[in-house]
A and B are shown apart, each in its own frame.
Chain A
Amino acid sequence: MRTARLLPVALVVLLVMALLPFGVGGYVLGLLTLAYYYGVFAMAWDLLFGFAGEVNFGPSFLVGLGAYAAALLNHYYSWPIWACLVAGSAAAVVGGVVLAVPALRLHGPYFGLVTLVAVLLLQNVIVLFAGVTGGEIGLDIPDVLSISDRVNYWYALGFMVISGAVLFGLARSPVGLILQASGQDAVEASALGFNVAKHKLAAFCISAFFSGLAGAMLIFYLGTASVGTVVDIGVGVQVIIAAVLGGRRTILGGAIGAIFLIVAGEMLRDLGQLSTFVVSAIALVVILFFPGGLLGSLLRTEGRQ
């Protein structure tokens, strides 16, 4: 019901977003382009957390795998962009499975720590093999998606909308409900005859696929792949904050949270250094007082009326 009521609103918002390039400057577009990719990271993370109940501290492990696989292939073997994107998402899925198969036996902080360690190890590998990966400098990418702000914007928007639709649909499907059930009470879910492990693994793969693809697209937008942009723990922290801020278990909240974080950071740019402080403070207030997040609170007030 609530979803149905929101549908027209969502369509209008989408239309405005699609037409935005005719109304605003290139800089705002660049900003939103970045926000949309982060939105996909956050939505993919929410599928794992909000629905499968697993706190993945290392979203940037999956993002980084996708990004670096694509970057290396483009840099050294000049693969065309589409092939790099395919390879990047495949690498993220493979990495995700390698991480998830043993890790899914673990719960809570243990699972969290393993995913955190995965990021740290990936970061170490990239820095240690600086000769190949470019190390701390990063790797420059010969091909970029486009140098036009508008085209880049539409790519990112389209990608976010498609990813959002797939993830959202999945979360609302029977599979999503099983995931949700197993996230809340794994014992009961398996007692009902569902293969919890298999569903969680599937969720991990899907999350990895979108994270990796988004990571790969992001570097073809930025023109460089570096630890600081796609692997660093700070990137993962941003993703988690975006998802929780936007509203966990809503999928779409992740996108809203990511856009909010980046736009707020920019509006507060005049504060200079302090902008990060203020954005964190706002996010903290939101999770303390509106734990449903931006979208969660919105949906609830809608529901009450």
Chain B
Amino acid sequence: MKHAYLYSLFGAALGAALCLPATARAAEPIKIGVIAEAAALGGSAIPNAAKLAAEEINAAGGVNGRMIEIVEYDDHSSASDAVRAFQRAANQDKVHAVIASYISEVVLALEPWAGRLKLPLITPGAASDLITKRVHDDYNNLKYVFHGYLASTQISDAVCESGKDLLIGQMKAKTAVVVSEDAAWTIPLDEEYLKCLPKIGVKVLDHIRLSPDTTDFTPIFNKIEGIKPDVMVTGISHVGAQPTVQWQQQQVPIPMFGVSSQATTSTFWKDTNGAAEGVVFNMFSAPDVAVTPKTIPFARAYEKKYGVTPAYSGYTAYDDVYMFADAIKRGGSSEPDKLVDAMEKTDWVGTIGRIQFLGKDDQFTHGMKIGPGFITGLMVQWQSGKQVTVWPAEAASGQMKFPSFIKTVN
């Protein structure tokens, strides 16, 4: 009899457990796939930040009672590995959305698959303008793709905008050489640099594209020095720390200013043995600036958990998880089409600013809105082992200063 009692108790518990999902079939977890290269700094920040966001959301009770589950895939930054991971995410692991990569080449390869498999996809770090252009041109098929980072053109504009104050105002620069690595994301970046720099009054003397496999930058710096520009405006990411290190070792007397993705990570100082001193680079959020009330708490929590401050793709990946969660909450469903509808209506204050996605008639369909009140961008400089924000003035925590081998006008 005693046993029967126990059984019935057990049965009731089991029944309750079985009924729970039935109460709204909503307790089924929301699965978000994260595809990135774990061995790369920009890559590892993506799953790390996504997991942090998921933990926070789950600790606060989840989304309509559903927990968020992050499923990680390592693509070794290879397009075919990424496509395989994406197929697995869709067909096997049945994820509801994917956050993928910081490399434009990889995202461009995934884009058609997001359409074919109808799986919402956002990239927290790839910058090519083609990503949103394809959505614009083939909206019905590719509407599942969102751009969670700025398009290269927008990044150039942000750099030029800061140049009014920093290049013209403080450095009194009149001439520049544009130096970029040869990659998908720098094609529109360079095009826009060549347009917007002259507009703010900086003459572009030359435009150099370097192979991403370059290891010896001496000839390039040598050539640039021969042209005698006041500043080098950069677009470097995959070539990594080497140009910076050689710039310092060879004491190239021209400041580096612009986009330098690896400089956004906190390990950059150590990896370059401090050669980063004086490098000025663009970021959309920094660990020392309250871009929004969420920025600093996120950077602190991330540093506490992982021991380093997040790379640029970490901020956006963190926001991406929240935006998906928010869209599922508002739309009440994780079905692909409903999720896309809800994502399009996103109005979310994240760590990088207030995020809204542009509509299908805009040039950057599903790209983020930029400008005052939305996302503006910062210029940050490495100074004595710290990333110091130097622009805009209201966010700045310090003034630009350069190592002694740099010749600036002031």
Instruction: Report chain B residues within 8 Å CB of A26.
Output: 87, 90-92
**6 pairs, A vs B, C-beta closer than 8 Å:** A26-B91, A27-B87, A137-B183, A223-B109, A224-B109, A272-B74
**CA–CA, A275 and B91, complex, Å:** 21
A residues within 8 A CB of B90?
26-27
| Contact of A27 (CB < 8 Å), options: B92, B104, B128 | B92
Tell me the bound Cα distance from A149 to B79 in angstroms.
19
| B252 interface contact, C-beta 8 A | no
Q: Known: A31-B84, A34-B84, A273-B38. Contact between A137 and B92, CB under 8 A?
A: no
**Residue A107 at the chain B interface, CB threshold 8 Å:** no
User: Is B184 touching A137 in the complex (CB atoms < 8 A)?
Assistant: yes
Digitize A161-190: 1 where CB-to-B-CB distance is under 8 Å, 0 elsewhere. 000000000000000000000000000000
Name the contact of B105 in the complex, choosing from A223, A226, A275 (C-beta under 8 A): A226
- Contact A140:B92 (CB < 8 A) given known A34-B84, A135-B182, A273-B39: no
Number of contact residues on A: which range applies? 20 to 34
**CA–CA, A139 and B184, complex, Å:** 12
Instruction: With A26-B92, A224-B108, A273-B74 given, name 4 new contacts (CB 8 A).
Output: A27-B88, A137-B128, A224-B83, A269-B73
Q: Identify the closest chain A residue to B110 (Cβ).
A: A224
CB distance from B83 to the nearest CB of A (A): 6
Looking at B84, B91, B183, B211, the one whose CB has the most chain A CB atoms below 10 A away is: B84
A130 and B182 form a contact (CB under 8 A): yes
In the complex, B198 has a CB within 8 A of chain A: no
Smallest CB-CB separation from B77: which chain A residue? A228
Residue of B79, B88, B113 touching A138 (CB-CB under 8 A)? B79
Question: Please, which residues of chain A bring their CB within 8 A of the CB of B212?
Answer: 136
- Per the CB 8 Å criterion, the residue count for chain B at the interface is 30
Contact (Cβ within 8 A) B182 A228: no
Q: Does B250 contact A (CB under 8 A)?
A: no
- In chain B, positions 338-395 with a C-beta closer than 8 Å to chain A are none
Q: Are A30 and B84 in contact (CB under 8 A)?
A: yes
Asked if A136 and B184 make an inter-chain contact with CB atoms under 8 angstroms apart, the answer reads yes
Per the bound structure, the CA–CA distance linking A266 and B108 in Å amounts to 23
User: How distant is B135 from chain A, measured CB to nearest CB, in Å?
Assistant: 14
B112 within 8 A of A: yes
> Least Cβ distance of A219 to chain B in Å?
10
Q: Mark A111-148, 1 if CB is under 8 A from B, else 0.
A: 00000000000000001001000011110100000010
**CB atoms of B109 and A30 under 8 A apart:** no
- The answer to the question of B277 belonging to the interface, with a C-beta cut-off of 8 Å to chain A, is no
Instruction: Decide if B80 is an interface residue (CB 8 Å cutoff).
Output: yes
Cβ-defined contact, B78 with A229, below 8 A: yes
> Quick check: is B72 within 8 A (CB to CB) of the other chain?
yes
Which of B83, B84, B211 is close to A127, meaning CB atoms less than 8 Å apart? B211
B contact residues around A229 at 8 Å (CB) = 78-80
Residues B91 and A30 in contact, CB atoms below 8 Å apart: yes
Supposing A138-B105, A226-B79, A273-B74 touch, asked if A28 and B92 sit within 8 A by C-beta, the answer is: yes
Q: Are B38 and A137 in contact (CB under 8 A)?
A: no
**B172 surroundings in chain A (CB, below 8 A):** none
Which residues of the partner chain B approach A138 to less than 8 Å between Cβ atoms?
79, 105, 108-109
Contacts of A136 in B (CB 8 A): 105, 182-184, 212
Residue B76 is within 8 A (CB to CB) of chain A in the complex: yes
Chain A residues with Cβ below 8 Å from B74 are: 269, 272-273, 275
Query: What distance in Å separates the Cβ of B390 from its nearest Cβ neighbour in chain A?
Result: 32
Does B116 have its Cβ within 8 Å of any Cβ on chain A? yes
CB contacts (< 8 Å) of B38 on chain A: these are 272-273
Bound-state CA distance A140–B109 (Å) is 8
Per the 8 Å Cβ criterion, residues 12-46 of A in contact with B are: 25-28, 30-31, 34
Assembly CA distance A137 to B182 (angstroms):
10
Contact with A along B51-87 (1 / 0, CB 8 A): 0000000000000000000001110101110011001
A81 in contact (CB, < 8 A)? no
Most chain B CB within a 10 A radius of its CB, from A34, A147, A224: A224
**A222 sits at the interface (CB 8 A):** yes
Q: CA separation between A77 and B267, bound complex, in Å?
A: 48
User: In angstroms, how far is the closest chain A Cβ from the Cβ of B93?
Assistant: 8
A88 to chain B, nearest CB (A): 18
Considering only CB atoms, which chain B residue lies closest to A134 in the complex? B184
Q: Which residues of A (227-282) have their CB < 8 Å from a CB of B?
A: 228-229, 269, 272-273, 275-276
Report whether B83 and A222 are in contact in the complex, using a CB–CB cutoff of 8 Å.
yes
